[in-house]
Chains A and B, each alone.
Chain A
Amino acid sequence: MTDFLQYLVNGLTIGTFLALIALGYSMVYGVLRLINFAHGDVFMVGSFAGLAVLTGASSSAPATTALLIAGAVLAGSLVSGVLGVGIMRIAYAPLLRAPKISLLIGAIGVSFALEEAVKLLTHAGFRSYPHVLPQTMLLSGPVRISYSQVVLVLLALGLMFGLWAFITRTVRGTAMRALAMDSDAARLMGIDVERVVLTTFFIGSVLAGTAGVMYGLYYTQINFAVGFLVGLRAFTAAVLGGIGNMVGAAVAGILIGLVQSFAAGYVSSRWADVIIFGVLIGALVLRPHGLFGERVAERV
């Protein structure tokens, strides 16, 4: 039983990271019908940007450490946000009128370009984040939960709630939803489609960058390839949740984290990916629109 609870805690932690990244895949798909394969690498670049700020930091004075962490999160999210907008403008915008397959191939190209660039810049080895997160435990009985874990999960949930509020409560958010339903009609209604698309890329990439820095702080080890597997799993979550559906992406992200944790625990770590992608195939066969699909799959 305690094992089960610990798997649950492990899985929730992994899942919140996946959920944050899955939101970006889902949002971009919502407005552009594009699977942004470079999204995992935007996450990775954000993680390195955060590390650049934290390099040389030591956990001597708590106040400066907190400031450094805030600076790292800010740097990671902004670098990723700008990168996302840049990718959209440079690589995707010229292809918007081309067949969808060109856009998809363009996205894969951007993904490889980012990975290889960071690989060359970092000599391909892995980099360690400084140990700045406190290791104190909230629960240290048979089931262990650290304060860092709680803070990270709450921060991620807060970001998700903020995104939900933005989409449902603001004019720009409403415009995003309108665009997702029918981009031509939205244009006719006077919505500045290009600006809304760029906003979508910016917000999605900011979330990925923030997740990247949180990931680095929590696991303390990153490399140029870290976005590939994480991105693939987050993409799985986005599809499982009903791609284009925000709530679906968040819930399915956490679900995939739990599947990974339980699969590694009860079967074998070697089989985790087989099971995760097996779940994806099963979901696609049984519920082609994803778990939260219905017809809402077409909306943001």
Chain B
Amino acid sequence: MASWSRRMLVAHCVVALSGLAVSISACKKSGGDEGGPIKIGVPVPLSGDSASAGQDILAGAKVAAAEINEAGGIKGRKIEIVEADDACTPQQSAQAAQKLVNSGVVAAAGGYCSGAAVPAAPIFGRANVPFVLDASTNPVLTDDGQGKVFRTCGRDDRQGEFAAKFIVDTLHAKRVAILHDNTTYAKGLAEAAAASIKKNGQAEVAYLDALTSGQSDYTPVLTKIAGLKPDVLYFTGYFAEAGLLLKQRKQLGLTFQMVGGDATTDASALRTAGDTAEGFIATTAPLPTTLPSAADFVRRYKAMNNGGEPGPFSAYEYDAIKVLAKAIDKGGTTDLIKTLHGLEEQQGITGSIAFDDKGDRKTLNFIAVTVQGGKYTAYKP
């Protein structure tokens, strides 16, 4: 493992040096409020297991930017999307955030893994750059964000409450097993759901533990869970593991209902699971495929991406860029944080958007979706 940390050290040095070079060149250029394009940073994972999710988010941002620019930009200035790879790891995320700040972005819109967004938030905060999250749902982000972090997506504690209610009231589960993967997001959601189930008192939490991601073989943990005879297994980790769990649950002939969190609603999980994903349920904020208001966006997204479908968070990223554009149009690029807080309710494609004091969305309803014919559709009991 020593070699790993050495590699990290080298990476740190390289990024620190390149950051220096960028900041020097940024100093030479003009500041934020003169001519030239308005830069918006998009930090997302473009490598690692979550790379496909990051690509989908970035593509969503590009659709929004293209629309704004075609309509003449903001007061005659174009929007420029600056991408940065956070690789879903805390170290690289901090570097990506610093790189974006150095390159002179007026705002950041992105984030996927909460564990990566947590160290990035204070870096944007110190530079007074608002950070609008489209997919990072851990409560800490806005709770500790000093009002400089915003979200177009929901919060894990609210999703946990919704999931607990859904699993107990709609699926009529008496015994619930909850499995996470020890990441910031998954653990937070698992604990929120468990607390909510316990508080309600109508069902019991039979199991609450983590798997180690990257193992490929989860049959031992599934066998253990099956021995506890739960009615529902709620898996709050990411889609790579969700696909394997679904497949191996079928191999073991287990019959409990599997429910996932919003990070499992990625189409690549269905490719791994194949037809064993049929009937899988996920709790999530509404997906582009279940939102009638997103139809135009989906069409445009497909046209710009060779027919590729948007990911679960592409629409939330689209809305994040649109809200930022609205705020810049109203108040300019300085004091953007204050403008965002004071912004009146906006109609986005994911519903109406306005931020509370912390920066969370005032209204966002969670839904349940299920896999039918290899696609996510709205769940009907």
Please report A residues at the B interface, Cβ cutoff 8 Å.
3, 6-7, 10-11, 13-14, 108, 112, 119, 123-126, 128, 131, 135, 137, 140, 144, 146, 215, 219-221, 223, 225-226, 229-230, 260-266, 268-270, 272-273
21 example contacts (A-B, Cβ-Cβ < 8 A) are as follows A7-B220, A13-B219, A112-B7, A119-B47, A123-B51, A124-B47, A125-B48, A125-B50, A125-B268, A126-B268, A131-B274, A135-B251, A220-B243, A221-B240, A221-B272, A223-B49, A264-B221, A268-B209, A269-B215, A270-B210, A270-B211
Residue B252 CB within 8 A of the other chain: yes
Q: B219-267: which residues lie under 8 A (CB-CB) from chain A?
A: 219-221, 223-224, 227, 240, 243-244, 247, 250-253
Q: Are A219 and B51 in contact (CB under 8 A)?
A: no
B220 pairs with A10, CB closer than 8 A = yes
Residue from B224, B252, B268, B271 in contact with A144 in the complex, judged by beta carbons closer than 8 Å: B252
- In the assembled complex, the CB of B182 is this many whole angstroms from the nearest CB of chain A, namely 7
- Asked if B274 and A269 sit within 8 Å, CB to CB, the answer is no
- Take A3-B223, A126-B240, A269-B209 as given contacts and tell me if A215 and B47 are in contact as well, using a CB distance cutoff of 8 Å: no
Complex CA gap A108/B212 in Å reads 24
> Does A144 contact B247, Cβ atoms closer than 8 Å?
no
Q: Nearest A residue to B49 by beta-carbon distance? A: A126
Scoring A225, A263, A269 by chain B CB atoms within 10 A of each residue's CB, the highest score goes to: A269
- Other 9 A-B pairs with CB < 8 A, given A10-B219, A125-B51, A221-B243: A11-B220, A124-B48, A124-B51, A125-B268, A128-B268, A135-B250, A220-B272, A220-B274, A269-B212
Residue with the highest number of chain B CB atoms closer than 10 Å, among A125, A220, A270: A125
Of chain A, the residue at the smallest CB distance from B47 is: A124
Closest partner residue, chain B, to A2 (CB atom): B227
> Which residue of chain A has the shortest Cβ distance to B53 in the bound complex?
A125
3 nearest interchain CB pairs?
A264-B220, A124-B47, A125-B51
Chain A residues touching B, majority SS: helix
Interchain Cβ contacts within 8 Å, total number: 109
How far is it, in angstroms, between the C-alpha of A214 and the C-alpha of B246 when the chains are bound? 19
A103 to chain B, nearest CB (A): 15
User: Which chain B residues numbered 48 to 79 have a C-beta less than 8 Å away from chain A?
Assistant: 48-52, 55
Which B residue's beta carbon lies closest to that of A124? B47
Give the complex CA separation of A128 and B21 in angstroms. 40
Residue among A225, A263, A270 making CB contact with B182, cutoff 8 Å: A270
- Chain B 23-53, CB within 8 Å of chain A: the 1/0 string? 0000000000000000000000011111110
CA distance A158 to B173 in the complex (A): 46
Complex CA–CA separation, A119 to B49 (angstroms) = 10
Structural contact, A269 and B223, CB atoms closer than 8 A? no
Q: Tell me the bound Cα distance from A13 to B218 in angstroms.
A: 12
Closest to B3 in A: A108
Residues of A near B268 (CB, < 8 A) are: 125-126, 128
B209 interface neighbour in A126, A221, A270, Cβ under 8 Å: A270
Interface centre among A112, A140, A261, A263 (most CB of B within 10 A): A261
Which of chain A's residues have a CB closer than 8 A to the CB of B252? 6, 144
- Tell me whether B244 and A219 are in contact (CB under 8 A): yes
A215 touches B220 (CB 8 A): no
Q: Which residues of B contact A146 (CB under 8 A)?
A: 251
Question: Least Cβ distance of B222 to chain A in Å?
Answer: 9
* B251 with A261: CB separation less than 8 A: no
Closest chain-A Cβ to B58's Cβ sits at a distance in Å of 12
For B3, the chain A residues whose CB sits under 8 A away are 108, 112
- Tell me if A137 and B253 are in contact (CB < 8 A): yes
Q: Are B251 and A269 in contact (CB under 8 A)?
A: no
Decide if B220 touches A260 in the complex (CB within 8 Å).
Answer: yes
Residues of A with C-beta under 8 A to B220: 7, 10-11, 260-265, 269, 272
Closest Cβ of chain A to B193, distance in Å, is 19
Q: Whose C-beta in chain A lies nearest to the C-beta of B252?
A: A144
Question: Which of A10, A108, A123, A263 interacts with B223 by CB under 8 Å?
Answer: A10
Give complex CA distance A221, B48 in Å: 14
Q: Which of B48, B212, B223, B271 contacts A265 (CB 8 A)?
A: B223
CB pair A140–B253 under 8 Å, yes or no, is yes
What residues on B are CB-neighbors of A223 within 8 Å? 49, 240
CA distance A123 to B243 in the complex (A): 19
A127 to B55 Cα, complex, angstroms? 15
Cα separation A76 to B301 with both chains bound (whole Å): 37
Q: How far is the CA of A45 from the CA of B51 in the complex (A)?
A: 20
Asked whether, in the complex, the Cβ of A128 is within 8 Å of the Cβ of B253, the reply is no
Tell whether, in the assembled complex, residue A6 and residue B271 are in contact, meaning their CB atoms are under 8 Å apart: no
Cβ B243 vs Cβ A269 within 8 A: no
Nearest CB in chain A to that of B54: its residue: A125
Q: How far is the CB of B190 from chain A (nearest CB, A)?
A: 13
B217 contact from A3, A219, A262, Cβ within 8 A: A219
Closest Cβ–Cβ distance, residue A112 to chain B (whole Å):
7
CB of B277, distance to nearest CB on chain A (Å): 11
Does B216 sit at the interface, judged by CB under 8 A?
yes
How far apart sit A11 and B47, CA to CA, in the bound complex (Å)?
A: 31
B381 at the A/B interface (Cβ < 8 Å)? no
Residues on the A chain within 8 Å of B223, using CB: 3, 6-7, 10, 265
Knowing A135-B250, A137-B253, A260-B220, say if A128 contacts B272 (CB, 8 Å).
yes
Residue of A nearest to B48 (CB): A124
B373 at the interface (CB under 8 A from A): no
**B219 contacts across to A, CB distance below 8 A:** 6, 10, 13, 261
Contact of A225 among B52, B214, B250, B274 (CB under 8 A): B214
- Which residue of chain B is the closest to A128 with respect to CB atoms? B271
A144–B14 CA distance with the chains assembled, in angstroms: 51
Give the complex CA separation of A112 and B7 in angstroms: 10
Tell me whether B216 and A219 are in contact (CB under 8 A).
Answer: yes
Using A7-B220, A215-B216 as known contacts, say yes or no to A144 and B243 having CB atoms under 8 A apart: no
B51 contact set on A, CB distance < 8 A: 123-125
Query: Nearest residue in A to B244 (C-beta to C-beta)?
Result: A221
User: Given the complex of chains A and B, what is the CA–CA distance between A269 and B214 in angstroms?
Assistant: 12
Is A125 a contact of B52 with CB atoms below 8 Å? Answer: yes
Question: Which chain A residues lie closer than 8 Å to B209 at the CB level?
Answer: 268-270
Q: Which residues of A contact B217 (CB under 8 A)?
A: 10, 13-14, 219, 260
CB-CB under 8 A from A123, the residues of chain B are 46-47, 51, 55
